[in-house]
Structure 1
Amino acid sequence: MAKATQEKGFVGRNAGWLGALAAVGVAAGGVAVGVAANRYAKRRRARAADHYFDEPFGELPYDEQFSVTTEDGVDLHVEVVDGERHDPTLVYVHGFCLDMGTFHFQRRAFEGEYRQVLYDQPGHGRSGRLPKGEYTLDALGAGLKAVLEKAVPDGPVVLIGHSMGGMTIMALAEQAPELFTDRVAGVVMISTSAGRLNEVTFGLPEVVSRLNRPLIPLLRNAPRLTTTVADRARRAAHEVARVLTRRYGFGSPNPSPAVVEYVERMNSTTPTEVIARYVHTLYTHSRLPALEVLRTVPVMVVCGDADLLTPLVYSQEIAAELPDAELVVVEHGGHVVLLELPDEVDDAIERFLERL
């Protein structure tokens, strides 16, 4: 009888524990369901508020991809998107701390209509890095020429450059002016400059920007260990980086969070060591004389009126040197206006191509 009573007590105690565990499991399951439901609700709200929430950034299809090796041994990643028209072929050249994804919306807008060639500049995206030394705009111009020779061996091209990409086109004009007589049918330069970048204030008061300028050469000479630490810090400070990206890359009051996130992703994947080795050539860039070559081809200059990195005055300066060039000013557009307000930029490029 005692044994039966003990067994009954044992079963009772275990039933109590099992019941408690079951209750905890149910509660945990309820919390999980609640968290999942909360996340789903947030995603629905984000999707409703952001037109580009589900945009496949960095995942657009291509018809061909290959590498082009530059004279200094860097393998450039190239993608080709076919279109009905090869006359002209559109060749895109992206800017600093970005990659070919900068032209995401232009690539989609002209898909199937024009043949398009995109590539990642040295040290950016899926392209290789320079083994040693500094990156130079002269080398970038030579890299663009190498891409043209392999990807578009014949026929007319329209060069479309954003920021440092526009500077790359200027470097190519300086090195190979004959191309702008024989091959280049037109040039579109977006948010770029022909020089004097050391005077950019980044929207800061002049007294503050003057204090920041002496720090640029220090970054150029930063040791590899320092840049490795900086990369880790950048990854850890993702939220801060996103705020800075929105502040300095965009001009409209409510840019798409998905687009801001994409630009920050491109920024953050550019190693600090690469950034440091680009600083000198960008800081000393001066190619106003090269614009003389561009007088031989149709040119369109595009800039947002709220660009803090290459302010509108730089585009106006280029347009003044090219009296036949068209200057398109995009209201509320920041430095990445081609991602921020793509319809305005796409429409301008389409009009330009139709006039050609």
Structure 2
Amino acid sequence: MARWGIVGALAGVAAAGVAAGVAAERALVGRTRKNSEDPYADEPFGPLPYDEAMTVTTADGVELYVEIVEPADGVTVDLGGDSEPEATLIFVHGFCLDMGTFHMQRRYLDPGDYRMVFYDQPGHGRSGRLEDGEYELPALGEALRDVIQQTTPTGPIVLIGHSMGGMTIMACAELFPELFADRVAGVALISTSGGKSESGKLGGIPEMIAGAGPVLGVVSGATRYSGRMIDRARHASSDLAWLLTRRYGFGAKRPSPALVSYVEQMNSGTPMDTVTRYLRTLYSHARYPALAAIRDKPVLVICGEKDPILPVTHSEEIVRHLPDAELVVVPDSGHVVLLEHADEVNAALQGFLDKVIG
């Protein structure tokens, strides 16, 4: 998540030693946190209960951390009159985040009637990292296939992806259309994109970074030696990170400080090495043709009205390619709409699941 520049820009500021305004920013953050009425001040953010934790090893050797939540009661699905095994919801998070992105959905649906699978994408959260090279969306699509095969070998699945997680689902659909034809009962795409918009831009990636092209490889290599120093600088400028997260991750004028802090912690917990090694593949993402694999599936598209990272036009373009998809635009919300306006997102998701799996 957060502007593929939230962490990147912050790292640049910190690494360059530009700290002149940090003291003022700290004072502003202190006043903002102290004076805001926060409905989530007592929300128990952090690890949530699960029934099983496991590791899924991808074809390129990355160990993915996975948590499985079993349903309170067994569920069957009626697809075309045939009774099927219980449905599994598989959640795929975005850039610079982790499975905690779905905190509100997991709390809302658990305990409930769904089997749920959550995992941290390569280089994020508690999952491992690539030994070398850049992270590429096709590899993320293959990783999702691996998670499906090793956690849910049979039965229908509903895929729910946020931001880069939605792109991962598209990459998986492009590579394994037969998997989608046979197993996928529905897809929910939240704050994501199929590629560049008509303006030629992919969301909020800073042009000065995205246009670097071949230079990104050099930057990625450099972080092998300077990444730890940059990470320390990022943590030292946590208040600035908090303000940037609020600015680019949320749509409301006064979002919950606790929510902002929660997202900022996920952002700042993503190593700089991971950030730089994802930039090229995110900027080059172009998978509208892949949507053909889900054209005959129920699809829910959700986005924040004020998302500065992937504006509404990106969701509208997805729906243009999938005319039967349902589009939900949440007012006064930004990129992390599923946290900022959890009630609206949960209601839309619940209605979608009721139609798809009963």
Structures share a fold, TM > 0.5?
Answer: yes
Assess, with a 3 A threshold, how the Cα gap between structure 1 residues 345 and 220 changes in structure 2: closer, same or farther. farther
1:82 and 2:84 are equivalent in the alignment: no
Count of aligned residue pairs for this structure pair? 308
The Cα of 1:231 is off from its aligned counterpart by: 1.1
Residue 63 of structure 1 corresponds to 51
1:45-124 to 2 correspondences below 5 Å: 49-83=37-71, 84-86=73-75, 87-113=86-112, 114-124=114-124
Residue 160 of structure 1 corresponds to 160
Residue 278 of structure 2 corresponds to 278
Q: Is the 8 A contact 1:92 1:119 kept in 2?
A: yes
Q: Is the 8 A contact 1:47 1:53 kept in 2?
A: no
TM-score by structure 2 length? 0.82
> What do the CA deviations read for 1:197-219 (whole angstroms, capped 9, x no partner)?
7714639xxxxx55554357544
Work out which structure has the larger RCO, using CA pairs closer than 8 Å and 6 or more positions apart in sequence: 2
What secondary structure sits across from 2:59 in the alignment? coil
Partners of 1:92 and 1:211 lie apart in 2 by 32
> What do the CA deviations read for 1:218-257 (whole angstroms, capped 9, x no partner)?
4442102233322122111100000000000000111111
Partners of 2:284 and 2:147 lie apart in 1 by 25
Partners of 2:204 and 2:170 lie apart in 1 by 23
What secondary structure sits across from 1:50 in the alignment? coil
Partners of 2:348 and 2:54 lie apart in 1 by 30
Unaligned stretches of 5+ residues in structure 2: 1-29, 76-85
Residue 342 of structure 1 corresponds to 342
Assess, with a 3 A threshold, how the Cα gap between structure 1 residues 130 and 102 changes in structure 2: closer, same or farther. same
Residue 204 of structure 2 corresponds to 202
Which has the larger share of helix?
1
The Cα of 1:50 is off from its aligned counterpart by: 1.3
Partners of 1:150 and 1:47 lie apart in 2 by 47
CA-based RMSD of the aligned residues comes to: 1.9
1:312-351 to 2 correspondences below 5 Å: 312-351=312-351
TM-score by structure 1 length? 0.83
Q: Is the 8 A contact 2:97 2:270 kept in 1?
A: yes
Partners of 2:102 and 2:254 lie apart in 1 by 21
> What do the CA deviations read for 1:114-150 (whole angstroms, capped 9, x no partner)?
1110000000000000111111111101111111111
Assess, with a 3 A threshold, how the Cα gap between structure 1 residues 201 and 282 changes in structure 2: closer, same or farther. closer
Assess, with a 3 A threshold, how the Cα gap between structure 1 residues 216 and 54 changes in structure 2: closer, same or farther. farther
Question: Match for 2:139: what amino acid?
Answer: A
Q: Is the 8 A contact 1:67 1:76 kept in 2?
A: yes
Percent identity, aligned pairs only? 56
Assess, with a 3 A threshold, how the Cα gap between structure 1 residues 195 and 75 changes in structure 2: closer, same or farther. same
Q: Is the 8 A contact 2:202 2:283 kept in 1?
A: no
1:214 and 2:204 are equivalent in the alignment: no
What secondary structure sits across from 2:187 in the alignment? strand
Assess, with a 3 A threshold, how the Cα gap between structure 1 residues 146 and 238 changes in structure 2: closer, same or farther. same
What secondary structure sits across from 1:178 in the alignment? helix
Partners of 2:218 and 2:74 lie apart in 1 by 46
Q: Is the 8 A contact 1:77 1:119 kept in 2?
A: yes
Partners of 1:164 and 1:211 lie apart in 2 by 21
> What do the CA deviations read for 1:40-85 (whole angstroms, capped 9, x no partner)?
xx9xx96992121121212211111000000000000000111124
> What do the CA deviations read for 1:128-177 (whole angstroms, capped 9, x no partner)?
00111111111101111111111111111100000000000001100110
Q: Is the 8 A contact 1:319 1:325 kept in 2?
A: yes
| Bigger shift: residues 214-223 or 302-311 | 214-223
Q: Is the 8 A contact 1:46 1:53 kept in 2?
A: no
Q: Is the 8 A contact 1:216 1:279 kept in 2?
A: no
